[in-house]
Amino acid sequence: MQNVRVGIIGIGNMGTEHSTMLLNHQVKGAQLTAVCDVREDRRNWALEHLGNDVSVYQTPDELIASDRVDGVIIATPHYQHSDIAINAFEKGLHVLCEKPAGVYTKQVRQMNEAASDAGKVFSIMYNQRTNPVFQKVRDLVLTGELGEIRRTVWIIDWYRSQSYYDSGSWRATWAGEGGGVLINQCPHQLDLWQWVTGMMPTRVRSFCNFGKYRNVEVEDDVTAYVEYENGATGLFVTSTGMAPETNRFEIYGDRGKLVVEDNRITFWRNRVPESQFNQEWKGGFGLPENWKCEIPVHGVESGHGGIITNWIETILFGRPLISPGDEGIKGLSISNAMHLSTWTDSWVDLPIDEELYYEKLKDRIAHSSYDENQAEDKTLDVKGTY
């Protein structure tokens, strides 16, 4: 295979951006050959803008069955990700799926099983893994520069006005999205939180507020406490109601403290590890000498293009995936656990009880305000979002 023929399923906000990128040959080895969208106006847009070499279909099934593609990028509403991906794998196609991989972990597990059965390449659009800032943080953690991790704190706000939510009736509904700030805005941070630290929480106690700052039915404000196997603790705090937007990630370790904010990494480095100081010091009050280190970051974030390129290179040349499908379940597990802990007002152990979560989610879908048949959506300009 010299080129991977790529179909894009769903040309709404993100799919449109991806189709333009492929059309402009920004991904070597990839050729845009087909798109599909259930909305007539989006198909008309495709016919007008994508040229004669790109076939335009109505349904994912038609595109997948078309023999015009070797792989698909899925950029539909969240709920459809798993069925489409499984269908594609069964037809022998490779899949790159927009985040979140699915809405509940059962979906993502089944997607991975289908990928494995088909022997096809499955990647998730965790494009923030190409951000050199987080690659550097991961490097500092995994090489031991920070020492054993003791505490993580990520405060990440995504300001969204009511007008944003009103732009799509599916937005911020249980039936339309399956969650709020955790499922729509935070998947990258929930992925990076465990990816850069190399640690998954073992249990979660979370406090979600639903429709607190906006007229929505899902969570728009979350504070979550987690514990890790080594005894470390963690906090994840997010809201769509806070202005200005905060994005501050702190990791505390035996050898100091890392702070990531404004795309800069500051390492407050202990000259000797705290544990060693504590053993040796006999003077009562006193603490390790600490150095404020500004950590250099090189390279640029390759973003969506980087993840698509990596997926293509894995298909063509067997390169390792930056964001393999089986890791899509990790951040989603944390997100699901945060919902479940609030719903049950108690601790949730990980891995979560995926059937229990799905049962409780279905209750909320049944009472959701969103009605797919009456849906009317605008396509927003998402440049500068993730």
Residue closer to a copy of itself (CB basis): 244 or 318: 244
State the nearest-atom distance from the C-beta of 234 to a copy of itself, in Å.
9
Tell me the window of 118-126, 174-182, 183-191, 230-238 that interacts with a copy of itself (CB under 8 A): 230-238
Tokens 């295979």 identify what position? 1
Which among 382, 383, 378, 380 has a CA at the least distance from the CA of 39? Answer: 378
Tokens 């349904």 identify what position? 59
Tell me the window of 26-34, 115-123, 148-156, 348-356 that interacts with a copy of itself (CB under 8 A): 148-156
Tokens 């700030």 identify what position? 181
Residue closer to a copy of itself (CB basis): 80 or 266: 266
Per-residue binding letters, 239-278, with a copy of itself (x by CB under 8 A): x-xxxxxx---x-x---xx----------x-x---x--xx
- Binder of a copy of itself out of 92, 144, 198, 231 (CB under 8 A): 231
Which among 95, 46, 129, 138 has a CA at the least distance from the CA of 304? Answer: 129
User: Judged by CB under 8 A, does residue 225 bind a copy of itself?
Assistant: yes
User: Judged by CB under 8 A, does residue 283 bind a copy of itself?
Assistant: yes
- Binder of a copy of itself out of 163, 318, 373, 374 (CB under 8 A): 163
Hey, what are 4's tokens? 């991977």
Pairing of strands 94-97, 122-124: parallel
User: Judged by CB under 8 A, does residue 358 bind a copy of itself?
Assistant: no
Report CA torsion sign: 341, 85, 177, 369: negative
Q: How far apart are CA 324 and CA 267, in angstroms?
A: 29
User: Judged by CB under 8 A, does residue 92 bind a copy of itself?
Assistant: no
Report CA torsion sign: 21, 25, 27, 32: positive
Residue closer to a copy of itself (CB basis): 199 or 237: 237
- Binder of a copy of itself out of 58, 161, 263, 344 (CB under 8 A): 161
Cα→Cα distances 331→102, 195, 218, 234, 338, Å? 11, 9, 18, 14, 11
Residue closer to a copy of itself (CB basis): 203 or 360: 203
State the nearest-atom distance from the C-beta of 226 to a copy of itself, in Å.
10
Residue closer to a copy of itself (CB basis): 104 or 343: 343
Q: How far apart are CA 56 and CA 10, in angstroms?
A: 11
User: Judged by CB under 8 A, does residue 320 bind a copy of itself?
Assistant: no
Q: Which helix (H) or strand (E) holds 366?
A: helix 354-366
Q: Tell me if residue 96 falls in helix, strand or coil.
A: strand
Q: Tell me if residue 235 falls in helix, strand or coil.
A: strand
Residue closer to a copy of itself (CB basis): 282 or 298: 282
Residue closer to a copy of itself (CB basis): 79 or 252: 252
Question: What is the residue type of 330?
Answer: K
- Contacts of 360-365 spanning 24+ positions with Cβ under 8 A: 361/103, 361/104, 361/174, 361/178, 364/174, 364/217, 365/174, 365/175, 365/178
Residues lying near a copy of itself in the complex (CB under 8 A) are found at 150-151, 153, 155, 159-164, 167, 205, 207, 209, 212-214, 221, 223, 225, 227, 231, 233, 235, 237, 239, 241-246, 250, 252, 256-257, 268, 270, 274, 277-279, 281-288, 290, 378, 380-382, 384-385
